[in-house]
Structure 1
Amino acid sequence: MMKLTRRDAMIACASVALTCSVGALAQGDKGVLGPAVFDWNALTAVPNPTGSVRQVVRQPTATLNELEMHITTLNPGVASHPPHTHPNEELVIIREGTVETLSGGTWKRVGPGSIIFNASNSPHALHNVGTTPAVYHVINWTSATTPKS
């Protein structure tokens, strides 16, 4: 009978870890986001009932459990969704158009260059009140301190 040495055990553990890592990568696990550039021309607009969305990224970073960014084009006269809340914080940067946003219990009208901060668990919504599509960038994140609900 062969005796299992400490070296044999270490090699076996390293092999299992490497196999698991390769399997995770094969399943699309992107790991921690490093330096990145997201070219507008490379982002595909996917139509939806209210306009379209360009998904930019959704993955962990060195300091965040998840960073999610997308760009929405919202048709005139429509809302992105009914007022709602979520535990993560969120920035919305208006690129084009005129929108009304529910913030702090009141509706506020803003245009290009405006920035909306949606606080954790604060009711918010967004409605395109203009006559042209509204385009806005959404950046939201979760961290170790993000509330669970």
Structure 2
Amino acid sequence: MNRRGFLASTALLPSAFVQASQQITHVDTIQTGSPLKSSVVKLEGLPAVGDSPGAKARVHFNGPTLQLAALASGVVTLEPGSRPHPPHRHPEEELVIVTAGTGEIVVDGVTTQVGPGDMMYSEANVLHGITNTGSTLMTFYFTKILAKNA
């Protein structure tokens, strides 16, 4: 099953019936290749990924480490009213830190209003999602972590 099909099949009703061809902005963790090395990645020049209208992701790090099967980290901007994808679940644990704007995050069926400085943690395979419900650009940083043998 491809990522879009997976997202559509794991979302809350009525989102579960979203067609698999829906545009999404999502970062899949990379588990192959050389381990990430200690470094600094500048935001300037990082390409935007994803095709969900109003949602752009820029990935700073993505790959295995010496201790983890995968680590992905970056920044996402959401225009008012947008979300990167419907609520979803995945095998990685995830942290989200809101740095600008306001919105709502749903975690395991609980919706919380969020703003700058608020943080989300989602265990592996727990349904979660984020939406910009404010009137300005929302920015959040994410880190997805997949343990070896997970």
Using the size of structure 1 for normalisation, the TM-score is 0.72
* Aligned twin of 2:64: 60
1:94-148 CA-to-partner distances (Å, cap 9, x unmatched) read 11111200023211011111111011111111110110111111110111242xx
Q: Does 1:74 align with 2:74?
A: no
* Percentage of identical aligned residues: 33
Structure 1 residue 51: Cα displacement: 2.5
Unaligned runs of 5+ in 2: 1-31
Q: CA RMSD in A?
A: 1.7
- Structure 1 counterpart of 2:41, one-letter code: F
Q: Provide runs of 4+ in structure 1 moved above 6 Å.
A: none
Larger Rg over CA atoms: 1
Unaligned runs of 5+ in 1: 1-28
- Structure with the larger helix share: 1
1:1-30 CA-to-partner distances (Å, cap 9, x unmatched) read xxxxxxxxxxxxxxxxxxxxxxxxxxxx75
1:22-80 CA-to-partner distances (Å, cap 9, x unmatched) read xxxxxxx7511121111122323347323312121211111111111121111101222
* Aligned twin of 1:111: 115
State how 1:1-149 maps to structure 2 within 5 Å: 31-46=34-49, 48=51, 49-146=53-150
CA–CA separation in structure 2 for the residues paired with 1:47 and 1:89: 21
Using the size of structure 2 for normalisation, the TM-score is 0.71
- In structure 2, do the counterparts of structure 1 residues 75 and 93 end up closer, same or farther at CA, with 3 Å as the change threshold? same
- Structure 2 counterpart of 1:37, one-letter code: V
- In structure 2, do the counterparts of structure 1 residues 122 and 47 end up closer, same or farther at CA, with 3 Å as the change threshold? closer
- Structure with the larger strand share: 1
Structure 1 residue 84: Cα displacement: 1.4
